[in-house]
Amino acid sequence: MSFIQRCTQAWSIRSSMLCVGLDPEPSRYPKEFQSRHSHEATEAFCKGIIQATASYACAFKPQIAHFAAIGAEAVLERLSQWFKTEYPDHLWILDAKRGDIGSTAQHYATEAFQRYRADAVTLSPYMGTDSLEPFLGYGDKGIFLLCRTSNPGGDDLQMQTLQSGERVFEHIARIAAHRWNTHGQTGLVVGATYPAELARVRAIAPTLPLLIPGIGAQGGDLQATVAAAVTPTGGIFVNSSRVILYASAGTDWQMAAAQEARNTQTALQQAAASLDAPRA
Amino acid sequence: MSFIQRCTQAWSIRSSMLCVGLDPEPSRYPKEFQSRHSHEATEAFCKGIIQATASYACAFKPQIAHFAAIGAEAVLERLSQWFKTEYPDHLWILDAKRGDIGSTAQHYATEAFQRYRADAVTLSPYMGTDSLEPFLGYGDKGIFLLCRTSNPGGDDLQMQTLQSGERVFEHIARIAAHRWNTHGQTGLVVGATYPAELARVRAIAPTLPLLIPGIGAQGGDLQATVAAAVTPTGGIFVNSSRVILYASAGTDWQMAAAQEARNTQTALQQAAASLDAPRA
């Protein structure tokens, strides 16, 4: 099954376009974890969040820096193995934003797809085609390329206009939709904070799966996001991290996380239903 | 001491512009390591290479993917601690090409500068200013931003021409030299495989330290590289990895590595001396 088919299946089975981002911050864990070692607490907290929210999400996105900063690679390994066994239909998207060439890119692909069992990984497009090929060599795996990111600094390069009239993010979207998408493996990262650019990306790349951070804590508008980018099969993974993870620090943390996830899933479904375009 | 002062000191003390890249590939280790566990072998091999070549190098550049792919983060941690104790005047440049925002970038900075004790880290500029700020917050540390990379795929984005007439890599070099270099912390990664573009970067950024991969196995010309980019104080870290690391798989591996490092250091010094411009 190709990666795009796996995406379509994930959107359909779960009736969800919600991706829950796993950005573990030990200082923000529920009180019951505060006395435990940070590695043990991180593993238990992430598992608890996944168990509480899996019914409302089609994907989970572990952010690797949060594990690397505390030396918790082994936790992410165990979590990955457990997740792929327990939730085979959900997608596991490793947010690593890697980018390198040759044997180094091959090692990063090994890290993402073998060590952490990711279904997809986020990558930077700055180094171009030969930095992506080692990842595309895994035929059933996906890549999400940074395109128009949710932060203001994204303007420094992504919003520059080329002589062709295209802006840099549009140029990346166009190559991604054609030259870099020979086997339905390629998606793009586009922030919810810029709905007009999100709509431009969707126009350039009508069928590419989009990973969309920036709703919730970063302030992106959910309704505008769906209107700009949803497709008949789903088409988008709308990421939410902190609002769900840290919904409560009390004993009700799992219930609060589930509630936030369900609210977001429902809001996404309603936003899609309210559009004129019929959805499958 | 600022990062640029530390660079100048490193070039001066060692009379060298050679950076030895640590890209450990267990299958290529000398025969005496082949029966040992890959982690133990990696640590012993990297230490042996550093001991053999430190007299000829001003910097070492561990490539993190090579450690991550085999789950050897603990090896890199121990190696980093040992290196900074044994070789305080040499620079330790973590080649990670990270790039993210907010709390995530903060965690990557923790990983590079605290966990792995790096003096500098390589970063992707794709996400712009706010993705660099958490790294620049470490006042005595450096960042090397990808600018014009040594691989052909770099053309896909870096060689695109903007409406201003600048190419993307020139645009990055210009911002790096000004807005992103308020405290002498910023350098650029420019491949030796494109000496004309290397000279352009040097013209735009006359004082920035340049990290230059691509000589040796990738075929970049050493003489042309020095001519394009050297400055009166040094100005460049010319990286060589595989040619030095895997100079011999026999019992003479350290001697062979030392010989390759010395040859490269000498060639760099001679190339600099042959230029009309006087060097300090």
* Least CB–CB distance from A175: residue in B25, B156, B163: B156
Give the 3-state secondary structure of B51-102. HHHHHHCCEEEEEHHHHHCCCCHHHHHHHHHHHHHHCCCCEEEEEEEECCCH
- How far apart (Å, rounded) are the C-alpha atoms in residues A157 and B176? 12
Q: Chain B neighbours among A 5-24 (CB < 8 Å)? A: 23
Residue B97 bridge partners (DSSP): none
Tokens describing residue B221: 């010309």
For chain B, what percent of residues have pLDDT higher than 90?
93
Query: Mean pLDDT across chain B, nearest whole number?
Result: 95
For chain A, what percent of residues have pLDDT higher than 90?
93
Q: What mean pLDDT is predicted for residues B196-221? A: 92
Q: What mean pLDDT is predicted for residues B105-121? A: 98
- How far apart (Å, rounded) are the C-alpha atoms in residues B244 and B254? 9
- Find chain B residues with C-beta within 8 A of A68's C-beta: 73, 107-108, 111, 115
Instruction: Indicate if the pLDDT at residue B192 is higher than 60.
Output: yes
Strands (E), chain A: 18-22, 59-62, 91-98, 120-123, 142-148, 186-190, 210-212, 236-240
Residue B8 amino acid letter? T
Q: Quote the pLDDT of residue A146.
A: 98
Q: Do A153 and B171 touch (CB under 8 A)?
A: no
Residue A56: pLDDT band with limits 50, 70, 90: very high
Q: What mean pLDDT is predicted for residues B183-191? A: 96
Residue B276: pLDDT band with limits 50, 70, 90: low
Residue B270 touches chain A, beta carbons under 8 Å: no
Tokens describing residue B273: 């001396």
- H runs (alpha helix) in B116-241: 129-136, 155-158, 168-177, 195-204, 222-229
Residue B104 touches chain A, beta carbons under 8 Å: yes
Tokens describing residue A243: 């609002």
Tokens describing residue B164: 């201003």
Based on the residue annotation, tell me whether A61 is a catalytic residue of this protein.
no
Asked if B235 contacts B210 with a C-beta cutoff of 8 angstroms, the reply is yes
pTM given for the model = 0.96
Residue A219 touches chain B, beta carbons under 8 Å: no
Instruction: Indicate if the pLDDT at residue B280 is higher than 50.
Output: no
- Find chain A residues with C-beta within 8 A of B71's C-beta: 73-74, 77, 115
Q: Quote the pLDDT of residue A103.
A: 87
Residue A189 touches chain B, beta carbons under 8 Å: no
> For A151-199, how does the pLDDT look when each residue is reduced to its tens digit (9 = 90+)?
999 999 999 999 999 999 999 999 999 999 989 999 999 999 999 999 9
Main-chain phi, psi angles of A147, to 5 degrees = -130, -75
> For B245-267, how does the pLDDT look when each residue is reduced to its tens digit (9 = 90+)?
999 999 999 999 999 999 999 99
Give the 3-state secondary structure of chain A. CCHHHHHHHHHHHHCCCEEEEECCCHHHCCHHHCCCCHHHHHHHHHHHHHHHHHHHCCEEEEEHHHHHCCCCHHHHHHHHHHHHHHCCCCEEEEEEEECCCHHHHHHHHHHHHHHCCCCEEEECCCCCHHHHHHHHCCCCCEEEEEEECCCHHHHHHHCCEECCCCEHHHHHHHHHHCCCCCCCCEEEEECCCCHHHHHHHHHHCCCCCEEECCEHHHCECHHHHHHHHCECCECEEEEECHHHHCCCCCCCHHHHHHHHHHHHHHHHHHHHHCCCCCCC
Phi-psi region of B235 (alpha: psi -120 to 50; beta: other; left: phi over 0): left
- How far apart (Å, rounded) are the C-alpha atoms in residues B258 and B279? 25
Query: Mean pLDDT across chain A, nearest whole number?
Result: 95
Q: Quote the pLDDT of residue A216.
A: 74
Q: Do A158 and B68 touch (CB under 8 A)?
A: no
- How far apart (Å, rounded) are the C-alpha atoms in residues B178 and A64? 31
Q: What mean pLDDT is predicted for residues B170-197? A: 96
> For A213-233, how does the pLDDT look when each residue is reduced to its tens digit (9 = 90+)?
988 767 779 999 999 999 999
Residue A160 touches chain B, beta carbons under 8 Å: yes
Q: Quote the pLDDT of residue B103.
A: 87
- Find chain A residues with C-beta within 8 A of B131's C-beta: 151, 153
Residue B105 touches chain A, beta carbons under 8 Å: yes
Q: Do A124 and B124 touch (CB under 8 A)?
A: yes
Domains of chain B with CATH codes? 3-272 (3.20.20.70)
Asked if A188 contacts A218 with a C-beta cutoff of 8 angstroms, the reply is no
Residue A280: pLDDT band with limits 50, 70, 90: very low
Q: What mean pLDDT is predicted for residues B112-140? A: 97
- How far apart (Å, rounded) are the C-alpha atoms in residues A77 and B80? 23
- Find chain A residues with C-beta within 8 A of B168's C-beta: 157, 160, 168
Chains A & B: contacts with CB separation below 8 Å? 167
CA A111 to chain centre: 17
